[in-house]
Structure 1
Amino acid sequence: MTPTVELATLAVGTVLPELAIHADPTFVISTALATRDFQDVHHDRDKAVERGSSDIFVNILTDTGLVQRFVTDWAGPRALVKRIALRLGVPLYAGDTLTLSGTVTEIDGTQVTIDVHGKDSLGEHITATAVIALPDLEPK
C-alpha cells in the first residue's frame, strides 16, 4: 500500500507520476453500467456511430472516478478528496488509452490543490482540479 504523502514533502509545482489507463470495450461498458449510466452511446457501438461517434466512449462519471483514483493513488490512503471540478474535451473512445498527469498548484494548510490533465490519441480529454486534505503527520 502506498503511504500517505506528507505535507512537509510537498511544494507548489510537485509533479505527480503519470497514470495510463487503457479503455478497452469491456472497460467502457462495465464502468458505464457501474455508474448506472445506461445511455446507449456507452455500450452500443451501432447506436454510438448512428449518433455521430466513431465508437462507444467513456462517460463523465467514470472520468471523475479516474481523476479521484489518480489523485488518491498518489496521495495515499489517508487523503480525503474534498472536491473535483472536471471539464471534458475530446472523447475517450473504446480501444484508446488515457494518460493522466498532475501538478500541485496550491497548498493551504492541510488542503492541496492539484491540476489534472488527461490526454488520449485525439488530444485533451479531461481538464480537472482536485482538492484533497492530507493529515498533519508532523509530531506535536
Structure 2
Amino acid sequence: MTVGAGPPRAGDTLPPLEIAITRTLVVAGAIASRDYQDVHHDAEAARRKGSPDVFMNILTTNGLVGRYITDHFGPAAVLRKVVIRLGAPNHPGDTMVLSGVVEDVRGDTATVRVLGTNGLGNHVTGTVTLTVPPSSSPEQSPSPAQSWEGTVPRS
C-alpha cells in the first residue's frame, strides 16, 4: 500500500526502509532526546562497559519507527500507541532495515507490526497503532512534497 492507494487492509506489507547507522545519527539522537548516558556518545566509555562502540538509544529508535509509519501512511496519520522492544544494538557503520505488516484494521484504526533488523539480528520489534483518516483529495490535504503556502486561513 502507498499513501492515497486506499485504506489499509490486514496483511498489507509496508515497503522496507534502510537507515544507515552513523555516529552522527547515534549521538544526535541521544542529545536530541536528552539522553546523556556516555555509551551513546563516548566510544571509549562504551568499550569500557563491554560494547564495541557507541550504540543508539531507545528514544531514537522509537522516533525512527514513528517516522517509518508516518512516511508510509502520510502526514494525516496519527500515532496512537507505539510499543517496542530492543534487541541487538545499532552501532555506527551498520544499516537498520525497517519493515512492517498491517495486522489489524478496525474502522480508521490500524495496527502495524514493525521489525527493524541490522547485521547483528533484530534491533527492534513492536507494534504501532495509528488512526488513518479516509483518503482526501490533494486540495484538502497536501502531500509532504506540496507547498503548505495558502493552506492557512488568512485574516
Give the structure with the higher percent helix.
Answer: 1
Q: Who is 2:93 aligned against?
A: 95
Question: Which one has the bigger strand percentage?
Answer: 1
- CA RMSD in angstroms, aligned pairs only: 1.6
CA distance in 1, matches of 2:73, 2:29: 23
In structure 1, the residue corresponding to 2:10 is in which secondary structure?
coil
1:11 is displaced (CA, Å) by 1.5
Give 2:11's aligned residue: 13
Runs of at least 4 residues of structure 1 off by over 2 A?
A: 2-6
> What's the counterpart of residue 54 of structure 1?
52
Counterpart for residue 144 of structure 2: none
The counterpart of 2:104, out of the listed 83, 103, 106, is: 106
Which of 20, 23, 47 in structure 1 is aligned with 2:21?
Answer: 23
Cα deviation code 1:90-121 (max 9, x no counterpart) = 11111111000000000011000000000000
Where in structure 1 are there 5+ consecutive unaligned residues? none
Pairwise CA distance, 1:5: 5.8
State the partner residue of 1:121. Answer: 119
**Higher RCO, 1 or 2 (CA under 8 Å, sep at least 6)?**
1
Q: Return the index of the structure with the highest Cα Rg.
A: 2
State how far apart, in whole Å, the 2-side matches of 1:96 and 1:36 are: 23
How far does residue 53 in structure 1 lie from its aligned partner after superposition?
A: 0.4
Counterpart of 2:6 in structure 1: which amino acid? E
Partner of 1:62, secondary structure, is helix
Q: TM-score, normalised by structure 1?
A: 0.92
Q: What amino acid does structure 1 have at the position aligned with 2:81? A: R
- Which consecutive unaligned segments of at least 5 residues does structure 2 have? 137-155
Kindly, what percent of the aligned residue pairs are identical?
42
> Given that residues 4 and 135 in structure 2 are in contact (C-alpha distance below 8 angstroms), is that contact kept between their aligned partners in structure 1?
no
